[in-house]
Structure 1
Amino acid sequence: MAERYSSFRSGSLSWLLQRVTAAFLVVVLAFHFFLLHFVHHASEVTFAGTTARMEQWGYLATMILFLITATFHGVNGVYAALLNQGLTGTKKTAVKGVLAIAGLALAAQGVYLAFVMSGVM
């Protein structure tokens, strides 16, 4: 039987954050699906409705946290998967940098869009 291998040391900060963000994402994703698929059916979701929801500070904060958490969780998961495949040395450093820049750019663009849709900017 194959031995279990993980790039995350149990109890490390990356390990903990991956699990905390997963739990948060499950809750917020359930809220998101409930609101946008059961309360407001897909045919009723409009740009104006999205803008109106984003103008509510609680909703805006939740969606920004959702975006940042999902971005971190995804980037951290991809990085861990690559480490599990044996990524080391200079390639590891380069991939870490590229993923960090891509994650920050994605989060920044999403937060900017959320602020624009909320009327803050």
Structure 2
Amino acid sequence: MAERHSSFVPGGTAWFLQRVTAAFLIVVLAMHFFLLHFVNHAYAVTLDDTVARMENVGYFLTMVLFLWAGAFHGINGVYNALVNQGLSGTPKKVVLAVLTLAGLALVAQGTYVALVMAGWM
């Protein structure tokens, strides 16, 4: 039988957050598709409509959490996939630093755009 190898420590914080963000992303992605592809077709979505939705605090918070959860889930998943493929030593530290900086930049820019669209900046 093949040996199971994972960089995740079962029950660890990264393992737990990967699963929590996955569940959250599934629910919010379903809501996103329903709202923006079935209720309002993509061609009919305008900047004014987006601004109006972002002015709703609940929608704003959901979208910002969607951004943060997606960024964490994706970056953590890529990093752990690379570790599972044998990444170690200095290259592992460099990849972690680059992914962390890219993730922070993505979250900062996305949050800024959301705040501007909500009219809070």
User: TM-score, normalised to structure 1's length?
Assistant: 0.96
Measure, in 1, the Cα distance between the counterparts of 2:20 and 2:115.
26
- Counterpart amino acid of 2:11? G
- Provide the aligned length of Structure 1 versus Structure 2: 121
Measure, in 2, the Cα distance between the counterparts of 1:94 and 1:11.
26
Alignment deviations for residues 76-95 of structure 1 (CA, whole Å, 9 cap, x no partner): 00000010011111111111
Measure, in 2, the Cα distance between the counterparts of 1:44 and 1:81.
38
Partner residue in 1 for 2:58: 58
| Unaligned runs of at least 5 residues, structure 2 | none
Partner residue in 2 for 1:114: 114
| Unaligned runs of at least 5 residues, structure 1 | none
Identity among equivalent pairs (%): 65
Alignment deviations for residues 47-103 of structure 1 (CA, whole Å, 9 cap, x no partner): 111111111111101000000000000000000001001111111111111111100
Runs of 4+ that moved beyond 6 A: none
Partner residue in 1 for 2:75: 75
Measure, in 2, the Cα distance between the counterparts of 1:69 and 1:107.
10
Root-mean-square deviation over aligned CA pairs: 0.9
Partner residue in 2 for 1:103: 103
The alignment status of 1:94 with 2:75, answered yes or no, reads no
Measure, in 2, the Cα distance between the counterparts of 1:99 and 1:43.
33
